[in-house]
């Protein structure tokens, strides 16, 4: 990984807040990134928040799957899948839309490191497995407006969470 120095106009943050009444057994995948990307050969600031296996409407579209482009929010209108490899902490993940009629997502996430927690409690009635790799993101997103966003070497964080309560 290259060393980078950030000035105030190149430092980015993402805030994710979720409230839910979880099922007894839950599994979800989550993905977030922010920084500079290219759209129509111009620099744009982006913030990405995607989830898979939670908050689906009747068309399998998650209301949490959003991208900010230059401070403007865009809700993705297609089903999205976050596909981790079998080796969550080391092997590439793929984030893609199931259709590409209007909106299209095709991203590749390469983990550089991770944090993880696995706990199994008495009589395996309660279990938690959480893996959160961080790394680099490459690929593209095409919004329903036609805006094509090219993403190269963007810092990102992913997560896979399983819980049995």
Integer-rounded Cα Rg, in Å, for the chain is 16
Q: What is the average pLDDT value for the chain, to the nearest integer? A: 82
For the stretch 114-150, pLDDT in tens is 887 777 666 667 778 888 899 999 999 999 999 999 9
State the average pLDDT over residues 101-122: 84
Please say whether the beta carbons of 94 and 112 come within 8 A. Answer: no
Position 36 scores a pLDDT of 93
**Whose structure tokens read 């993402």?**
14
Name, in order, each residue with C-beta under 8 angstroms of 122's C-beta and a sequence gap of 6 or more.
none
Q: Per-domain residue ranges for the chain?
A: 25-164
Q: Which CATH number does the domain 25-164 belong to among 2.40.370, 2.40.128, 1.10.8, 1.10.287?
A: 2.40.370
pTM of the predicted model, to two decimals?
A: 0.81
pLDDT at position 70 is 93
- Report residue 19 as tokens: 């409230």
Average pLDDT over residues 60-85: 83
């Amino acid at each position: 990984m290259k060393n980078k120095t950030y000035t105030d106009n190149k430092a980015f943050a993402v805030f994710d807040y979720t409230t839910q009444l979880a099922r007894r057994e839950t599994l979800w995948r989550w993905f977030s990134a922010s920084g500079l990307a290219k759209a129509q050969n111009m620099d744009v600031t982006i913030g990405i928040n995607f989830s898979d296996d939670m908050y689906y409407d009747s068309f399998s579209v998650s209301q949490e799957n959003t991208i900010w482009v230059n401070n403007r929010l865009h809700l993705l209108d297609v089903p999205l899948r976050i596909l981790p490899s079998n080796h969550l902490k080391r092997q590439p993940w793929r984030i893609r839309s199931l259709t590409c009629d209007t909106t299209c997502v095709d991203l590749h996430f390469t983990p550089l490191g991770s944090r993880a927690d696995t706990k199994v409690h008495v009589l395996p009635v309660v279990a938690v497995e959480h893996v959160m790799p961080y790394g680099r993101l490459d690929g593209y997103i095409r919004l329903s407006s036609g805006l094509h966003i090219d993403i190269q070497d963007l810092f990102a964080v992913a997560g896979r969470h399983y819980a049995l309560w």
